[in-house]
């Protein structure tokens, strides 16, 4: 595996690949790789000639400095996982390689940025679009792979691509779950044993709502979900939404896709999960 830490090295190598007519797939990550990330890389390997995985804990998408500070960074283990899976390129830049000291620009993607996660983590998606825009610009991937786990992020990046006519195709890959249903996340590492058990209420509730979904009964279903999650010790619900899969506004009879999304603090760890429940 090629391991680059500078833009110049990466671009030089990619220019050679493009000159040979190779297609480039990008899997952007913040590291602490788990099977969810590896499934994105496998998908990229099936569709592209050369796969770049980036590991960059992007400071501009953290609205809480303590969260940034404690974000896991097991780089040696990550490199081993990428080598084992035969990833072609790891791009692992330092913050100074990506940002100048005085960068204050951001993109305005519209209302999607301020709903749900955007409401609880103001500025988060502006940081995400800032860094993803930079990576698209630098790497010029033909295809970029993102996990459904952050469904709102997928919609926002899709919107950025459309607004700016960026020549990249976005593929959303399914959520990978532990055998008991917990959505894989780099943050799961922080869950104490009891929290790990209590966290299952999120996927269990999503499944239950999917089973009982009825477009005419959304307020009652939402209330039931909120009550069940709130009754778990150590779990503090931020939101449970039953939303239109394109706008993330409340689902209605015209919604082509209906999705349930949840965010909650379990112990000290904030988790998100979602499930497409109709469409
Ligand atoms: O989903 C993530 O891990 C991050 O938001 C991303 C897309 C790598 C941007 O920093």
Distance 236 CA to ligand 1 centre (A): 24
| Torsion from C-alpha of 157, 65, 4, 87, nearest 10 degrees | -60
The domain 186-278: what is its CATH number?
A: 3.30.1300.10
Any catalytic annotation for residue 124? no
Token pair for 205: 């509730």
- Residue 132 burial (CB count, 10 A): 27
**In this predicted structure, what is the pLDDT of residue 245?**
98
Which residue out of 27, 127, 131 has the highest number of ligand 1 atoms within 8 Å of its CB and is therefore the one to mutate?
131
Distance 28 CA to ligand 1 centre (A): 6
Residues 30-65: tens digit of each pLDDT: 999 999 999 999 999 999 999 999 999 999 999 999
Q: Are strands 258-266 and 269-278 parallel, antiparallel or unpaired?
A: antiparallel
pLDDT higher than 90, residue 198:
yes
Nearest partner of 226 among 257, 261, 184, judged by Cα? 261
Q: Which residues contact 70 (CB under 8 A, 6 or more apart)?
A: 190
Nearest partner of 209 among 222, 198, 219, judged by Cα? 222
Lowest-confidence segment of 45-59, 93-107, 155-169, 235-249 by average pLDDT:
93-107
Nearest partner of 216 among 251, 249, 245, judged by Cα? 251
Place of tokens 């939101």: 239
Average pLDDT, the chain: 97
Kindly state which CATH superfamily the domain 2-173 is placed in: HUPs (3.40.50.620)
**In this predicted structure, what is the pLDDT of residue 102?**
83
Whole-angstrom Cα distance, residue 163 to residue 207? 34
> Are 272 and 238 contacting, i.e. CB atoms less than 8 angstroms apart?
no
Residues 222-261: tens digit of each pLDDT: 999 999 999 999 999 999 999 999 999 999 999 999 999 9
Please give the C-alpha separations between residue 34 and each of 37, 40, 45, 89, 178, in angstroms, as whole numbers. 6, 10, 17, 17, 11
Whole-angstrom Cα distance, residue 66 to residue 229? 26
Q: Three-state SS for 54?
A: strand
Domain boundaries, the chain: 2-173, 186-278
Whole-angstrom Cα distance, residue 237 to residue 262? 8
Which residue out of 153, 161, 270 has the highest number of ligand 1 atoms within 8 Å of its CB and is therefore the one to mutate?
153
What sections of 94-123 are H helices per DSSP?
95-98, 116-120
Catalytic residue (choose from 3, 37, 106, 212): 37
What sections of 20-164 are H helices per DSSP?
35-47, 65-70, 75-84, 95-98, 116-120, 124-139, 151-163
**Atom of ligand 1 at shortest range from CA of 29:** 8
* Report field, pTM of the whole predicted structure over 0.95: yes
Place of tokens 């988790």: 271
Residues 175-197: tens digit of each pLDDT: 999 999 999 999 999 999 999 99
Distance 146 CA to ligand 1 centre (A): 8
pLDDT higher than 90, residue 105:
yes
**In this predicted structure, what is the pLDDT of residue 49?**
98
Q: Whose CA is nearest to atom 3 of ligand 1?
A: 29
Confidence of residue 101 (pLDDT cuts 50, 70, 90): confident
């Amino acid at each position: 595996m090629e391991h680059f830490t500078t833009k110049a090295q990466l671009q030089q190598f990619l220019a050679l690949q493009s000159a040979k007519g190779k297609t480039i797939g990008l899997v952007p990550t913040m590291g602490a790789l788990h099977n969810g990330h590896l499934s994105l890389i496998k998908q990229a390997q099936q569709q592209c000639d050369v796969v770049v995985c980036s590991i960059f804990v992007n400071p501009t998408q953290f609205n809480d400095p303590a969260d940034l500070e404690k974000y896991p960074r097991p780089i040696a283990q990550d490199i081993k996982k990428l080598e084992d899976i035969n990833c072609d390129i790891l791009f692992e830049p330092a913050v100074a390689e990506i940002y100048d000291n005085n960068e204050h620009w951001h993109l305005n993607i519209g209302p999607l940025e301020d709903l749900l996660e955007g409401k609880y983590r103001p500025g988060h998606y502006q940081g995400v679009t800032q860094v993803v825009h930079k990576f698209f610009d630098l790497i010029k991937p033909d295809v970029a792979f993102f996990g459904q786990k952050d469904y709102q992020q997928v919609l926002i990046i899709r919107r950025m691509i459309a607004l700016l006519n960026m020549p990249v195709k976005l593929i959303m890959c399914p959520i990978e779950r532990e055998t008991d249903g917990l959505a894989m996340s780099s943050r799961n590492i922080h869950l104490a044993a009891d929290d790990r058990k209590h966290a299952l209420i999120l996927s269990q509730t999503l499944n239950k709502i999917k089973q009982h979904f009825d477009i005419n009964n959304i307020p009652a279903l939402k209330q039931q979900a909120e009550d069940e999650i709130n009754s778990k010790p150590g779990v503090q619900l931020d939101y449970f939404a039953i939303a239109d899969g394109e706008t993330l506004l409340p689902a209605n009879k015209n919604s082509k896709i209906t999705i349930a999304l949840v965010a909650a603090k379990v112990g000290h760890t904030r988790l998100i999960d979602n499930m497409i429940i109709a469409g």
